[in-house]
Each structure stands twice: as structure tokens, then as C-alpha cells.
Amino acid sequence: MPTVAQSTETTDWVSRFADEVIEESERRASGKATSDATAPVVVVASGLSPSGPIHLGNLREVMTPHLVADEIRRRGHQVRHLISWDDYDRYRKVPAGISGVDESWAEHIGKPLTSVPAPKGSAYPNWAEHFKAAMVESLAELGVEFDGISQTEQYTSGVYREQILHAMRHRGDIDAILDQYRTKKAPAKKQQQKAVDEAELEAAEGSGAAAEDDGSSGSAGYFPYKPYCGNCEKDLTTVTAYDDDSTELTYTCTVCAFSETVRLEEFNRGKLVWKVDWPMRWAYEGVVFEPSGVDHSSPGSSFQVGGQIVGIFGGQQPIGPMYAFVGISGMAKMSSSRGGVPTPADALRIMEPQILRWLYARRRPNQSFKIAFDQEIQRLYDEWDKLAAKVADGSALPGDVAAYTRAVGTAAGELPRTARPLPYRTLASVADITAGHQDQALRILSELDPADPLGALDEARPRYDKAEAWINTHVPADQRTIVRAEPDTELLKSLDDASRQSLALLLDGLAEHWSLDGLTHLVYGVPKVQAGFSADATPKELPPEIKTAQRTFFALLYHLLVGRDTGPRLPTLLLAVGQDRVRTLLGQ
């Protein structure tokens, strides 16, 4: 049995929501006449639509309840984190830039996502399963424990039969609630009809009309349920008659003109419209916490309307904070194989799961933040390593400790971590310079700290692999480091005496200072010694001109080693190039 990690009952946002959710869960349980004296299972939920690659931005939909669920678990409560796969939703449009997909997929618009073929070459049986699989894999890597619920399975096996019949019986009440919001937009009857027409037009075009989410009224009245056509499988159907006693429902398809009469008490090929479906599931599952994106916060939004409709199903609205947008930095440089929008898997290729968890844990849901795919990732890692050191020596602030604790593990235990977490920027530089030569990379990395050398590259993994992937996929070619094959004889010949002397000082100390710390001391020390100071002199003991002299010296070294003004940090670069080659390139 895994050891249960300690609860972090400090006052961070996660902890505060956990308090609220436990309290609400117990309040609801006490209201029920039950002989069960045990604590209720707390239910939190997320919803994801596998309508295409599930973007990194959507990860907040999962991470917010995950962190809260995890805190509740750490306190010893039982929690179910449901992820509803909205895979019975209609296929709205063909996303751009998906390999193995061409314009012929447009013919499937209007079908359930599980009835659309997967991209060519996929190992999965359909569109939804294909995109769900990538997300499931990322969630496992992130340590997110969840119960996945396929809405296709739920609907097509008749799990929601009673709820559907109930909604149909109460369609007048539902219509009245929805109408409060409709009238704000379309006061005149004519305009209302126009809105419906536009919704149908948009639906036909597959652009995802908002109005279709609450169902529409035909001549037979309002119905919160839409069958998928028995002939063409599309949802552009109109219910033309319904009988509450026999549950006989007649619909016609606007695409293929197919029409049939079915008995809803035994029919499993349709679904409640979104604005009714969501609150129905809150009631069915007893959801106590489910956040949603800012796009759900407007008046008449599905969360707000759902709060009124949920009562029809005898349930209550969950605690539902709105979460802010998560941005990405460094997108311009990204390969745009997926229309330039990265997925959680893309982030996990360049950063460890702990870092990604930390980004979500340390910001309140209403704060937006960016996930770095550019140079910023190196600074982020520096910050993370500093925090880890502070946590280890006990000097970190309680809020920071909480975020760190939530990042490195869950109630089930710690996530696998890199045994020797060498600085990311050093690993990135080494991967940059060695360009895939692992023996070289190991040599350099073991020279960083000769007192405690790295025994195998695996000790620096997976962090090394992430840094290498970042260099290879997100650093533009013109910023990559290419060590000169031959010395720059022109430049060497043109050097003045002071420059020659600086190179000589460096080369003299090279063997003796061959470690990361030693070389750092040496490269900063050379200009000091040249100016008549000790190599150990602190900035306070030195005139400001030393800084200029250091910059000039560094630029000279970069030119001679890599033919540019800048590059990776010099000590790392020198170690990477190796002593013999450094001597050759510096003219010895």
C-alpha cells in the first residue's frame, strides 16, 4: 500500500476549495434520509470534448478539480474525479492541420464524434478514441487519477433513460427557463424564428452555433432531446411529434429526409441538448465541484442556466469557479503541425510533469498564466530548482511549500523524479552542443562536478531528455550552437596584445579549473587579473570597467569558439567543447 502523502492544510486556493467542497458534500449527505453513517464520497468533475487534439489550454479543466480532489484525498476522504468524455457530441468541423485527415471528413459533420473515422493510420477505432488516447496518456504521466465516462456509452446503453423521459415530461418547464434568456436576445417572434434559422444554418455549416445547445422549437413545440438520424447518423433532425404516455417520438431528418417513429423508452440513439445534458449529469452523478472556462460565465451561459435546470432533475448546482485562460509563450517558433496549438503531450516532451503541475498549482484558477515553450522555460526551471532547495532547507514560505508539494506528488505518492536534477539550462546547452552524441554529453556532464561525477546519463533523465527535446524542437536553427571546426585564423592574427594575454591566462588555468565551478571562477577572473586585481576580488572591490572588460573577453571567446557574439554559458560551453579543442580554437 502506498504511503499517503501528508496533507498540506495551509491556506492556498486548493486547500480553501477543499474545505468548501467537503463541507458542501457533507451538507448534502446530511439532507438525505440514509442509514449510512460513513462519510460521503466526494464527487468532482471535468468535461472534455475529443473533437480534435485536446489543447494544453483545456488542461485547466482537469487540473483544477484534480488538485482539489487530491487535497481531499490527502485528508483521508474518498473522492471520485469524473472526466466526462463528451464523445457523443456532434462532429462540428474538420480541424485544420491534422495529419491523416482531408476535406472528405466534412461529410461526417453532424454525426457523433464516436461515429467519425479516426485519422488515417490511427490505431484507434474512431475520431473520439484517437484524440482521447493522447490525453489519457498525458494524464497518467501527470499523476491524475480519474474515472473516465464515455457519454457515447452512457447514452447508447440507455443509462440516462429515466432522465431523458423526465426531461421530455418537463419540457415545458425547461423551455420556460431557457426562454428567460432567449427573450433578452430576440424579443420579437419573427426574430426568434430567424435565430433558429441561423442556428440551423450554422449547424449545417458545422461552425458550432451556440443556439443549438438548448434545443429548438418546431411546430410540435419545444424538445430538449435530439435523435441522431437512423439513416445518415446526423443530428440535423426535427422532432415532429411526441406522446408522453406511449413515449412515441417521430422525427424527420433535414439532411436525408428520413423519418421514423420510435419509442423513447427503448430508443438509445440520441441525446439531451447540451444545456440540459450538463445539469442532468450534475444531478445523476451528484457533482459537488466542477469548474468551467470563462466562456461559460456570460448571462445565459450553460453553467448559469444549468443552475436552474438542475432542480428539475432533483439535483444541485456544483461549486463552479470560472478559470482564466492559459496562454503559451514561444508559439511562433513552434512547428505548426497542429495549427500551432500545443497539447499537454507537447508540454510533457519538454518539461517534467512536476513543473507542469506546479504551474497550475501555484496560480489561483482566476489568474491567467503562460506556459513557456521559449527561452523562458530555462528561467522557470531555475525558479523551480531554487524553490526545491528552499523547501529542502526549510526556508520556503507555506504557500510555496503547498504548491511544491502538490507538484511533486499526489495522495498516492511521489511522481517519478530525476535522480540528479542538473540545471535545465546546462542540460539544454550540453544537448545543443553535442547534437545527439550521448557519450559526449555524459563526458561533459560528469566533468561538471568532478567531486561527484555523473555515473550514467540515466541519472540525469528524464530531465535531460526534456531539455534535449526542447533544444531540438523549439530553438530556431539560427540560435543553435555550432562549435567551429577550425580555428578562426584571421581573427587570431588580428588580436592585440591585451587580447592575446587574456587568452593565455585562460589557457594556463584551464586544466586546473576543469569543472563547472572552476571554469566559472576562471572566466570571470581573467579580466580581473589582467587589470591587476586578485581573481577572487568581489564586485565591491573592483572598478565598474571590469564589467566591460569581462563582456569584451566573453565576446572574444564566443567568436573564437562558436563564431557568434553569444552562446550558452561559457563554463558549460568550454566543458562541452573539451580541453584539446578549446586549446586549438584559441590558437595554442
Which one-letter DSSP state was computed for residue 93? -
Interface with Zn ion (CB under 5 A), residue total: 7
Candidate list 239, 253, 387, 460; residue touching Zn ion; CB under 5 A = 253
Mark residue 121 as left, alpha or beta (left: phi above 0; alpha: psi -120 to 50; beta: remaining). Answer: left
Give every CB contact of residue 161 below 8 A, 6+ residues apart in sequence: 265, 268
Query: Quick one: 258 or 284, whose CB is closer to Zn ion?
Result: 258
CA distances from 161 to 269, 280, 554 (A): 11, 11, 73
Query: Quick one: 218 or 300, whose CB is closer to Zn ion?
Result: 218
- Span interacting with Zn ion, options 87-95, 149-157, 225-233, 572-580, rule CB under 5 A: 225-233
CB of 460 within 8 A of CB of 434? no
Q: Does residue 232 touch Zn ion according to CB under 5 A?
A: yes
Query: Quick one: 20 or 260, whose CB is closer to Zn ion?
Result: 260
Q: Does residue 186 touch Zn ion according to CB under 5 A?
A: no
Q: How far is the CB of 258 from Zn ion (least distance, A)?
A: 5
Query: Quick one: 255 or 504, whose CB is closer to Zn ion?
Result: 255
- Span interacting with Zn ion, options 167-175, 207-215, 257-265, 466-474, rule CB under 5 A: 257-265
- Span interacting with Zn ion, options 85-93, 252-260, 316-324, 497-505, rule CB under 5 A: 252-260
Q: How far is the CB of 226 from Zn ion (least distance, A)?
A: 12
Q: Does residue 345 touch Zn ion according to CB under 5 A?
A: no
Coil, strand or helix: which one is 248? strand
Q: Does residue 204 touch Zn ion according to CB under 5 A?
A: no
What is the spatial distance between Cα 182 and Cα 210, in angstroms, rounded to a whole number?
12
Q: Does residue 203 touch Zn ion according to CB under 5 A?
A: no
Q: Does residue 258 touch Zn ion according to CB under 5 A?
A: yes
Q: How far is the CB of 234 from Zn ion (least distance, A)?
A: 5
What is the spatial distance between Cα 552 and Cα 527, in angstroms, rounded to a whole number?
9
241, β-bridge pairs: 250
Q: How far is the CB of 193 from Zn ion (least distance, A)?
A: 23
CA 17 to chain centre: 21
Q: Does residue 229 touch Zn ion according to CB under 5 A?
A: yes
CA distances from 364 to 12, 64, 230, 408 (A): 8, 9, 46, 18
Q: Does residue 231 touch Zn ion according to CB under 5 A?
A: yes
What is the spatial distance between Cα 248 and Cα 253, in angstroms, rounded to a whole number?
17
Query: Quick one: 271 or 420, whose CB is closer to Zn ion?
Result: 271
Residues within window 363-382 making contact with Zn ion, judged by CB under 5 A: none
**Amino acid, res. 415:** L
Cβ atoms within 10 A of the Cβ of 273, count?
Answer: 20
Query: Quick one: 180 or 231, whose CB is closer to Zn ion?
Result: 231
Candidate list 4, 199, 210, 256; residue touching Zn ion; CB under 5 A = 256
Candidate list 134, 165, 241, 255; residue touching Zn ion; CB under 5 A = 255
CB of 323 within 8 A of CB of 294? yes
- Span interacting with Zn ion, options 132-140, 227-235, 494-502, 535-543, rule CB under 5 A: 227-235
CA 89 to chain centre: 22
Query: Quick one: 147 or 205, whose CB is closer to Zn ion?
Result: 205
Transcribe 434-467 into DSSP letters.
Answer: HTT-HHHHHHHHHHS-TTS----GGGGTTHHHHH
Enumerate binding residues for Zn ion (CB under 5 A).
229, 231-232, 253, 255-256, 258
